[in-house]
Structure 1
Amino acid sequence: MRIGLVLLLTVAGVLYLYNPNLQDFQEYVRTQASTHLQRELGNTALGQAFTRAGSDLAALLTRKATRRDNYYFWSIYTIDPDGDDGEQDYWRFLGIGGQFFLIERPRR
């Protein structure tokens, strides 16, 4: 019984410590945008310049359009580009243990 409680408290502590913040999510978006843009634009000098600029822009816009719901052990990040709660045109990510997972995308 005590071992189970110690294990549960240890897991809860680790999840609490590694609950990603908004800067972590911004870096995740920058990395994902960079990977996608590099794949689309290629590895030329011009492609690399556009990749850097595009990934930085994506990270900046993410800061403006993202809402973070902090549940202490995990967080839900909602990116709603137009800020309209009426339509389901947003992306939602789960941040847990320092990782991010897409859990919902726009229906269009």
Structure 2
Amino acid sequence: MDLKDQLKNLFPDHEPEDVPEKEQKSDLWLQDNPLICKYEKRKGKPITIIEGYTGADSDFRKLAKELKTTLSVGGSFKNDKIIIQGDYRDKIMDILKEKGFNVKRVGG
């Protein structure tokens, strides 16, 4: 007996409503120009850089924090660029496309 059956036994007159799934809408400002996602090596270690955001710095900082926590990696926000430790271009591009951004891959 699952939870739905137990609830029907407790509340026989209740009709469950069809609740639509949450559409993931970004509260960030979406721009027309694509974000640039590029790969570099600094001191022999790979990094991924995201740049080209024309919205508010606070929104870009939120995006940086979301990316870092989603990927479970370190990184920083400097000079209007998000710097992520490691080569995560494919994953980052997928995440940004889900949020509604246009992304352009540069280099390699």
TM-score under structure 2 normalisation? 0.28
Larger Rg: 2
Higher RCO (C-alpha under 8 Å, 6+ residues apart):
2
Q: More strand by proportion, 1 or 2?
A: 2
Q: More helix by proportion, 1 or 2?
A: 1
TM-score under structure 1 normalisation? 0.28
